Amino acid sequence: MAKFELPALEYAYDALEPFVDKLTMEIHHSKHHNAYTTNFNKALEDNKIEVNSIEELFASISKYPAAVRNNGGGYYNHLLFWKFMSPNGGQPSSELAEAINSTFGSVDEFKKVFNNAAVTRFGSGWAWLVLVDGKLVVTSTPNQDSPLMDVSDVKGTPLLCLDVWEHAYYLKYQNRRPEFAENWWNVVNWNEVSRLYSAAK
């Protein structure tokens, strides 16, 4: 059976300082993401599930045990999250900026809507920018759910996500999730968001 592996980061643990601190990145990647990956493989093995693709698995995730949903989501959401950050993430492409402006009014307004989703997600979860039938939509999911999952309120193609579990920010920001969400824009990898938008639109 194919094993899922913890992906290497494309930057050093301290590369996103001071907005995301080195110790948080190190624990988040080497401990939290590593545990989701290990437990995802174990859940697949325990339940004798062959995965053709994450998209296909998530599209029928309601049929599988909670361990597959929670750890599969944890594995894949973090894989995306690391790619959505960079010490030199550039700016939105002109076509993405146009779509953001026509949907939200401006990039700043989009950030407000996105951060509102991040801050108002009760407990642990994720904020998302997704593409739904060609339209940009901001949403959030609880726990490790993904907008690719059939259980998600809003289903769409992920273009950007922010982890708002306390483990993502507590060491540096403690209870100040809004401050973390605000500072996080300094390290957003717009090049990756633009690439995904171009491929999915």
Instruction: List interacting residues with Mn ion (CB under 5 A).
Output: 163, 165, 168
Minimum CB separation of residue 25 from Mn ion in Å reads 11
Rank residues 54 and 97 by Cβ distance to Mn ion and give the closer one. 54
Rank residues 130 and 162 by Cβ distance to Mn ion and give the closer one. 162
How are beta strands 157-163 and 125-132 bridged, if at all?
A: antiparallel
Minimum CB separation of residue 24 from Mn ion in Å reads 10
Which residue's CB comes closest to Mn ion? Answer: 163
Rank residues 68 and 168 by Cβ distance to Mn ion and give the closer one. 168
Minimum CB separation of residue 118 from Mn ion in Å reads 13
Rank residues 57 and 164 by Cβ distance to Mn ion and give the closer one. 164
Closest to 118 (Cα-Cα) out of 136, 143, 139: 139
Minimum CB separation of residue 154 from Mn ion in Å reads 20
Rank residues 115 and 144 by Cβ distance to Mn ion and give the closer one. 144
Minimum CB separation of residue 115 from Mn ion in Å reads 17
